[in-house]
Every structure is written in structure tokens, then in C-alpha cells.
Amino acid sequence: MSQEVVSVRNLEKSFKGFQAVKDVSFTVKKNDVFGFLGPNGAGKSTSLRCMLSLIKEDAGEIKLFGQTMSGNRNKILSRIGSIIEKPDFYKYLSAYKNLELLARISGARVSKSELYDILEFVGLQGREKHRFRTFSHGMKQRLGIAQALMHNPELIILDEPTTGLDPQGIVDIRNLILKLSKEQGKTVILSSHQLAEIEMIANRMVIINKGRTVIEGSVHELLNTAQMIVRFQLDDIERGLKLLSTDFSLTNNVQSDGTELEFEIEKIRIADVAECFMKNGLRIYSIEQKRKLEDYFIKMIDQS
Amino acid sequence: MLFRNTINELIKILSKPRSYIGFGALTLLIGVILIAMKADGKNFISFVTASFEQTLSFNGDILNGNLMAFVILQMLIIHVPLLVALVTGDLISGEAAMGTLRMMGTKPISRSAILGSKFLAGAIYTFLLTLWMAFMAYGVGQWIFGSGDLIVLNNDGLVIVPADDITWRYLYGFGLAYLSLLAVAMMSICFSVFSDNSIGPIVSTMAVIILFTIIGSLDVPSFGNLQPFLLTTHMASWRSLFEMPVPINDIMNSIYILLVHIIGFGVIALWKFNNKDINT
């Protein structure tokens, strides 16, 4: 069994009568890139803040590296690097000075050359002496990641790290996370409200909505059960329609334009449809899949 | 970790332009007073001493560095708290507003150590400001006006302190002034813990000092029981050092009350900060 790095059970948190987190539970295992998914206001940041002891939970249990925060806070936090909400630094200090300050309280000895290395790693070489207030949003995110990584933590928590980034910045962050996971064996928790982003880099995920856990599991398994839209280009559309009706009970929501059939079906059944068409002598010119990620996400949210 | 973060806090204080406002303001204010007194001080002193010049004879120059330090300390002790609060009132709330408190809160340093290092850095800043005030008022005053006997008008009447009996009084005097400014610093840090913006704690600190000063100066019987315990009542306790004989018990009482304020504000701040949700 994989080692549990994070275990959250029945987490609850209220603010002045408003219950931001009602019942959140999930488990993150070693080396996971764990997607923490939910719409805006679902309780993601509040849950992460509870995990890092920025706010005190009302109820529930949080275990990090098998230990609760009580009595182990500093030991646990020295093994974690994080960005919560957005990276905020001292505007009047340079990138290097900001890192130096945070390194001093990171629980590890970080040398000057290591700080320069980490700044280079996140692509901020040449900007070390520039004040934080002169940085663009992307550069701030990179500096945020640098401070999260500088003490070589085992667990990295990134709260919506791609928000506000340009497409290249998003790709860079995505590659960085994959690199951290695959090359350095880090465990990463990635909070996001975009399912596509999670699907690209996470191996496991939890969806939360209105302060509750909706579903948790492997990204592969969860998304494979998702409905997809499939478009078949066939030589005989009429026969294809008939087969869909008789063999797969698909009559509603099947669209045809004379050369193509478009319908909604579970991903695991697409191969069965193709096999059926071929067995019945139909020629398939092309199959195009369009997963309805957003629909799936909304469906999960609605079900909650 | 406390020591490491205190270094961080001092770096932050020294990197902020607002930290130098106090030093600049003191230099300007004291400089103006010293220059004005150098230019026209003799006429001013003659006007003040005219009433008792007929009955007393003085040896030496009344207008000297010791008198200047006394006048300046008396004038500024109520105003310097604003300069202290400008920096110390921002120590927690400024970080909350900037979002850096969140960043610090995720590091392996306890909340008590964070606050403790801010207390220490605030105390060091207040000490440097007091030291600068002492240098400007006493050091520069001595350099411009020279030394001499100090004439002080107290509640008990006129007191003449010989020049060779003054230095230690100023040493303790500035020490007491530091203690009262430290109490102000602790109060503003305490207010800072309750706020997520810098202005609130600074304004609140000044409001409390103004309120306490008014209560302390009003001759209303119902305030009589309150006055001995007010912070502002003891901010002027340094003056007792220039009485003959020095009322040691009164001074010790002031020290105790100032220490109670310092510890009290510290405990409240610690309790609140350890239970504070960092939402910014």
C-alpha cells in the first residue's frame, strides 16, 4: 500500500455563521500529483488553509505524514512547500532578498548558491536583484514556486498556480509540476477549477463542491467512466443508425448529417460500437472523440 | 528560530521608507527647536525668568544643553508615540494586508515565535528612536549650548540641579522614556494583531493616547481612581528624576505600571495571534 502523505477526514470550517467547508475528506499518497478540483467558492482554499494551520478547523482530522499538526507543526511544515491563493512577497525587497528571508525560517539551511539555483530553475535568472513590485504576474508565480521549492520539501501544495498566466506560462508551470513529480519524486497537491488542467497532470483527484467531497479517485478511472461525444464517419449512415438503436439502445441524441453519426456514449463502449459496425460490414472512415469534460464536471457538481 | 526571524524583522523594518520618518521628524523637530533657541533663546529665557530674577541670582548660563534636553523631552514625549506606532502598528497588520503573513504562516515557525520576533524588532526600533532622540536633544544640545546647572519648575517649586549631578538623571530619564515608548509600541503591536490593515492600529494607538491624556488632565473626581493606572500618566515619570530628592517610590511605581502595560499588551497579542485565522 502506498504511503499516505495527507489524510483529511470530515473537515468542517465556518466563518461567522457561513459554513465554508462542511464535510471534506480525501487522501493523498506518496508521489501523487493530486488534483484538488472544485468550482470557485467550493472550499478548496479553506481546506488547504486548514491543512497548513493557517486557520483552525472546527471539526475533522488532518494528518500530514501520518501526524496531526498538534505538537508536530514545525516538523510537518518543514516538509511542505506551498503557495496558497497567490504568491505575496515584500514589495520593497528584491526577489533574492525575499527568498533569503523565507529561507531563514524554512527549517533548512539554504545556501546563497542554492537560492540562485532555484531562481534559475524557475526562470528568474537575471531578475534576482529586481524588486518584487516590478514583477509581472507570471514572474510572481515563479517566485512563489521558488519559495515553495527552496527547502527541498517532500510535499508541494499549489493553489491554482496557473491563474492569470499566459498560455506559455501555463505550459511552463505544468511541465515544472510534472518534472517535480517524475524526476524528483515529489508529492504535489494541485488545486484548480479546471478539469482539463487536472487531467493533464494529475494521477488522482478529488472534486469538492459547496464544502463537501463529491468524488475521489484515480483520474484515469474517473474520467474513463465519463460520457464522451463520438463522431463516426461511415459509408452507410442508415445502417449505422439502426445498429446503434438495436445493439446499443441509442436512439435519442444521435445526430446525423448524411456522412457522419454523432452520439454520446461511455468511453469504454466506443470500441464495442466500432467492432459492431465492422462485423456488420460497415466501412469506418474516421472516429473522432470529444470528451465532455466540462459536462462531466458540471454533472458531478450538480449531483452533489 | 526566534533569533533568525528577529533578523528578518529588522531587515524588513530597515527596508521600509516609513521607518525613517521617525528619525527624520525627530531630526527636523529637535533641529528647529535648537536653532530657534540658539537664535532667540536668551530673550525667551529672560521673559520666562523675569518674575523670579529679582529674588534669585544665577551663576552661569541658564540657557544650556541640559535645559534644552529637558524642554525637548517634555515637548516630544507625547508626540513620539505616533512615530513609534507608525512602524510598530504595521508589524502584523501590514503583513496581513500584503498577504505575506499567509506566506510566513506556512513556514515551520510557531506563531509565538513570529510575534516574539516582532516584539523584539519593535523594541529594538523603539530603542534606536529613543537613542536618536537622546543624541539630538542631549548630545547636540550640549554641543551647541554647552553644559550648566539645570533649572526646573516642578509642582513643588523651582529646583536647581547642579551640572555635575545631571548626566545620570538623563541616562535614567531616557531609560524611562524608552520604557513608556515601549509600552506604546506593545499597545500598537497588540492592536495590529486585531487588524488586517495598517492604518487602524496606528490611529487607534494615537486615539488611546489622546483619550488617556485628556482623562489624565481632567480634574474630574470620577477619573481620579483611573488616572494612576493610565499609561499616559507614567509617560511623564522621567520628570521625577529631576526632583530633589528623587522620589524613588514614585518612579518604581511608574516602572511597574509601565511593565504591567507591556506584559498585558504582550499577553493579549499572543493569545489573539495564536488563535487568529489567517484569511488574508
CATH number of A4-215: 3.40.50.300
Q: How confident is the model at residue B59 (pLDDT cuts 50, 70, 90)?
A: low
Task: Check residue B53 and give its pLDDT.
Answer: 63
- Judged by a CB distance cut-off of 8 A, whether residue B110 touches chain A is yes
B88 domain residue, yes or no: yes
Rounded CA separation A1/A29 (Å): 9
B36-62 burial, b at 16+ Cβ within 10 Å, e below that, comes to ebeeebeeebeeebeeeeeeeeeeebb
Residue pLDDT, tens place only, A51-94: 999 999 999 999 999 999 888 999 999 999 999 988 899 999 99
The range of the structural domain enclosing residue B139 comes to: 2-274
CA dihedral B133, B138, B140, B143 (to 10 degrees): -170
Task: Check residue A100 and give its pLDDT.
Answer: 93
Tell me the one-letter amino acid at B266.
G
Cα–Cα distances in angstroms (integers) from residue A195 to residues A42, A213, A231, A248, B206, in the given order: 14, 15, 22, 29, 51
Q: Which of B5, B17, B108 comes nearest A74 by C-beta?
A: B108
B80 domain residue, yes or no: yes
Is the pLDDT at B12 greater than 60? The verdict is yes
**pTM score, whole prediction:** 0.83
> Searching chain B, which residue's CA lies closest to the CA of residue A104?
B4
Three-class DSSP category at B47: helix
| Residues B47-59, mean pLDDT to the nearest whole number | 66
| Structural domain boundaries in chain A | 4-215, 225-303
Chain-chain contact of B11 with A74 (C-beta, under 8 angstroms): no
Chain B partners within 8 Å of A88 (Cβ): 98-100, 102-103
Residue B181: Cβ within 10 Å count: 26
- For residues A271 and B127, the model is more confident at B127
Tell me the one-letter amino acid at A135.
F
B280 domain residue, yes or no: no
Chain B partners within 8 Å of A84 (Cβ): 102, 106
Q: Compute the mean pLDDT over every residue in chain A, rounded to the nearest whole number.
A: 87
Q: How confident is the model at residue A291 (pLDDT cuts 50, 70, 90)?
A: low
Task: Check residue B216 and give its pLDDT.
Answer: 84
Q: How many domains does chain B have?
A: 1
Chain B partners within 8 Å of A52 (Cβ): 105-106
Q: Which of B8, B16, B277 comes nearest A92 by C-beta?
A: B16
Residue pLDDT, tens place only, A104-122: 988 778 888 999 999 998 8
> Searching chain A, which residue's CA lies closest to the CA of residue B4?
A104
Nearest chain B Cα distance for residue A265, angstroms: 44
Is the pLDDT at A134 greater than 50? The verdict is yes
Is the pLDDT at B247 greater than 80? The verdict is yes
With beta carbons less than 8 A apart as the criterion, state whether A204 and A218 touch: yes
Task: Check residue A1 and give its pLDDT.
Answer: 47
pLDDT over 70, % of chain A = 94
Which range has the worst mean pLDDT, B47-56, B137-146, B163-172? B47-56
Cα–Cα distances in angstroms (integers) from residue A142 to residues A90, A106, A138, A236, B149, in the given order: 15, 18, 6, 54, 65
| Residues B181-209, mean pLDDT to the nearest whole number | 93
B96 domain residue, yes or no: yes
Chain-chain contact of B103 with A54 (C-beta, under 8 angstroms): no
Task: Check residue A259 and give its pLDDT.
Answer: 83
Chain A partners within 8 Å of B104 (Cβ): 102, 105
B198-220 burial, b at 16+ Cβ within 10 Å, e below that, comes to bebbbebbbebbeebbebbeeee
Q: Which of B7, B106, B109 comes nearest A52 by C-beta?
A: B106
Is the pLDDT at B47 greater than 90? The verdict is no
Nearest chain A Cα distance for residue B110, angstroms: 7
Chain-chain contact of B278 with A74 (C-beta, under 8 angstroms): no
| Residues A146-165, mean pLDDT to the nearest whole number | 88
Task: Check residue B187 and give its pLDDT.
Answer: 95
Predicted-assembly ipTM surpassing the 0.85 threshold: no
Which listed CATH number (3.30.70.980, 3.40.440.10, 3.20.20.70, 3.40.1210.10) goes with A225-303? 3.30.70.980
